Structure 1
Amino acid sequence: MELKREDFLAQYPPLYFLNKADVANIWDKEEIHLYVHIPYCAKKCGFCYYKSFPIGNAPIPDEYFEALKTEIEIYANMPEVQSKCLRSIYLGGGTPTLLSEKQIETLMMLIKSKFNFAVDYEFCSEARPGQETSLEKLRLLKALGMKRLSVGCQSTDDFVLESNGRNHNSKDFMDVFERARQTGIYCINVDIMSGMVNQSLESWLETVKTISDLKPENIAIYKLEIYLNNALYARYRKGNVRLISDAAEVEYARQGYGMLLDSGYRMADNFSFMLAPEYDHVHRREVWKGADMLGVGLSSHSCFNDYIYQNEPKLDDYMERLKRNELPVQRAHKITAREELIQRMVFGIKNLFFERAKFLEEFGVDVMDVFPEQLTSLEKQGFISIYPDHIRTSFEGAIFADDIVREFYMPEHRKTMLAHVKRPEN
């Protein structure tokens, strides 16, 4: 180092590193994602803990729909949002397909007129296996750009469906699946659930086989949990519901995962499977990688500008604030630098493949220097494999991903989870 007070510095990196190739990228819009919550369903399922209201065959209230449109317009007019473009739209619930065809078209045309879009954006909607998911509605959704339909089957055993408070049967699911195929939707996802009430191992494996034989592009496996705010919990307290043990459910998962892999599926993440990489779920994948997401609708949460925040959970409060033309945000948390590091690691494990170079590029430090003890321990236990340029989650790591990632949590976060019933030991 020479000390000569030479060459006054006013810029770093040096201007010599400017190049013509990067000029075209100066005004690229950063990609964000949009979640739209429709908190209504024909009947609330016994295990559901999401914010939703059963309305039977009644239409979705105009008052809520107008409030939702107002919230979308408020966001669309914000400079912070106008500088972005939408990479994905996700209609969730509740049951989005309870929206009328007119409401669906109005909603999507509003979004398309107010936001910038990435060229290859993904539009996904959830659907219930019911009459409201009609051929006409599916054709409209496809015409409006929907590429991915996610259908909640849960089980193909009608006794299991009834025991868990589902308001459809296996025939209803098959009918909706056939309509979706007839419509020519690019990607169909089917949700199934392990460890359900009155679900034997044989029933579970028959569900896995039946669904995999249909060859939907995606299959997602969720584990039944009885949360303290759902209808199954009330039955559980009265002694009318029995659950299999966690150890038994793990065996359900192992065998179910294995069957899907043997039938030609590959793991997309720790709970979902795809026939080929082109059917990967863009919305989930990118949000898990740290992309910003705006959540609109009652009780929706967002991650935007380094904040996690959530909308009003009470319907009257939500709509009243939007009548005053203000965003209905009820609570928020500023994500710290440490939490952001942990977030990338957690979802890297759940995504099954973690690129060390991208972590280094984003944070300026190698992940092995941030979490050396945790990563070394998980590798010794066979949950991950550590390579010079990436970290890969093993089959067993995928099964237990939501447990092992807690090793990276800050101490005050490790025991926090939604209140739910503990399964029996055996």
Structure 2
Amino acid sequence: MLLYIHVPFCRSKCRYCAFVSRPLDMAEVEVYATSLPLEIRAFGKKLGRPKVETIYFGGGTPSLLPPWALSRIIPELVKHFDIHPAVEWTFEANPDSALDVDYLRALIGYGVNRLSLGVQSFADADLQFLGRPHKAKAAMAAFGAARQAGFANISLDFIWGLPGQREATWLENLKTAVRLRPEHLSCYGLTVEPETPLAALAAAGELELPLEIEQGRMYVHGAEYLEEQGYLQYEISSFARMGFQSRHNSGYWEGRDYLGLGPGAVSTLGGVRHENPRDVREWAALAKTGRCGIGGVALTREERVREFVMLALRTAKGLRLSLYRRLTGIDFLKENEGLITALRQNELIRISAGHLRLTKNGFLVSNLILERLRY
């Protein structure tokens, strides 16, 4: 099982962010650090001390949790879950809150062995536009602090397709990142999410993004550059040195069961999906009564098949056609014969070794392709 723990606190809300997050408030951190152990205990009992192969602290900004909060939370995980000896344990951090080497060493002492730093850009103008609370210099310093603390598995997050950004400036970001030699890179195209400040700018006609052809060059040439530098693309936005693919995220793409704890966290266990209340105190009230995970919804067959195809086509492995047929009784290629022919002619997909895979250009238009497929 995969275990995800959501930490909803941030120094400030970034302009593009649609995740469950709120400004740091120490009174709410106290509520969170008191309630999360209760939720951990409840699920540990409900699921019979389940085996956990990966742990992921995401947010929000987990690195804003003070040491006293970690000392309440993490021992409860070890006590109530059967954590695999070779667990991949990821902890997200923003550079401005990952400069304390002693704090980072304490994470390693608890068992954390993978750090994910939200760099987003090495250009201060980009960071200011995004509403990030750090500058490029802090990102460099945080990476150095993580190495000094002893992290041997560091992932850096970036966003491409920003206003004013061009292929050359994006590639310069990647070259700077490669010089640091992180083990993993996640590179996401800027998405304008509803009800964010960026959405308001777009609605007002004040958000000018690079042209689609320029964004396409950023994505394809950026991916080619990273692969030339030894970073294998194993998912639409993910690149890793050999042996450093994210096992946790790969578990999502393979459709494995996952348990989400914390405000707004989502779980899918045995085909049943549940989402926690997004409000910290509403979630805490449920944790206090032990009524965690109540009210899940069973996914329909259509939903399960759609997710299976969508997640598989996000990966470099692609969709295993024999497995699709075994699950559905349908020949995927015959069901989508006309579309498959058009996609192959336009070099947006490849079919080999029993798998249907999107090419790099196919990844660029993956949403359009998924909308047109028949399941």
The residue type paired with residue 90 of structure 2 is C
TM-score (norm 2): 0.91
**2:178 counterpart SS class:** helix
**Alpha-carbon distance in 2 for matches of 1:131, 1:353:** 36
Name 1:352's counterpart in structure 2: 316
Q: Which of residues 43, 50, 61 is equivalent to 2:19?
A: 50
Structure 1 contact 299–313 (Cα < 8 Å) conserved: yes
**Matching of residues 105-254 of structure 1 within 5 Å:** 105-254=71-220
1:392 to 354, 357, 361: 357
Kept after mapping to 2: 8 A contact 1:322/1:328:
no
Aligned to 1:7: none
Aligned to 2:38: 70
How big is each residue's C-alpha offset from its partner over 1:159-181, in whole Å with a ceiling of 9 and x where there is no partner?
11112211100011000001111
**Structure 1 residue 298 corresponds to structure 2 residue 298:** no
Which residue of structure 2 aligns with residue 337 of structure 1? 301
Alignment RMSD: 2.5
Question: Matched residues in 1 for 2:171 and 2:148: separation?
Answer: 27
Distance in 2, Cα, partners of 1:84 & 1:165: 39
Corresponding residue of 2:228: 262
The 1:55/1:33 distance shift into structure 2, 3 A limit, reads same
Task: Please tell me whether the aligned partners of residues 385 and 393 of structure 1 are also in contact (alpha carbons under 8 angstroms).
Answer: yes
Residue in structure 1 matching 2:273, options 289, 303, 308: 308
8 Å CA contact 2:325, 2:332 repeated in 1: no
Aligned residue for 1:345, secondary structure, equals helix
**Structure 1 pair 274/204, CA: closer, same or farther in 2 (3 Å)?**
same
Which residue of structure 1 lines up, in the alignment, with residue 249 of structure 2? 284
Distance in 2 (alpha carbons) for counterparts of 1:296 and 1:141: 19
Q: How far is the alpha carbon of 1:90 from its aligned partner?
A: 0.4
Structure 1 counterpart SS, 2:185: strand
Worse overlay, 35-44 or 342-351 = 342-351
Q: CA contact under 8 A between 1:76 and 1:115: conserved in structure 2?
A: yes
SS at match of 1:347: helix
Deviation at 1:388, TM superposition (A): 4.5
1:207-246 deviations in whole A, cap 9, x for unaligned? 1111122111111111112222222333444554432233
Shift of 1:288: 1.1
SS in 2 for 1:279: coil
Identify which range, 286-295 or 256-265, moves more after superposition. Answer: 256-265
Alignment partner of 1:321 is 2:289: no
| Residue-pair matches, total | 374
**1:190 shift after superposition:** 0.5
State the TM-score, normalized to the length of structure 1. 0.81
Q: Provide the secondary structure at the position in 2 that maps to 1:152.
A: strand
Could you tell me how far apart the structure 1 residues matched to 2:271 and 2:334 are? 20
In 2, the alpha carbon distance for the partners of 1:241 and 1:402 equals: 22
CA radius of gyration, larger in: 1
Classify the secondary structure of the residue corresponding to 2:159. strand
Residue matched to 1:23: none
By percentage of residues, which structure has more helix? Answer: 2
- 1:325-362 deviation digits (Å, cap 9, x = unpaired): 21165x64322223323322222211121463771696
CA–CA distance in structure 1, aligned partners of residues 36 and 372 of structure 2: 39
Query: Residue 404 in 1 paired to residue 373 in 2?
Result: no
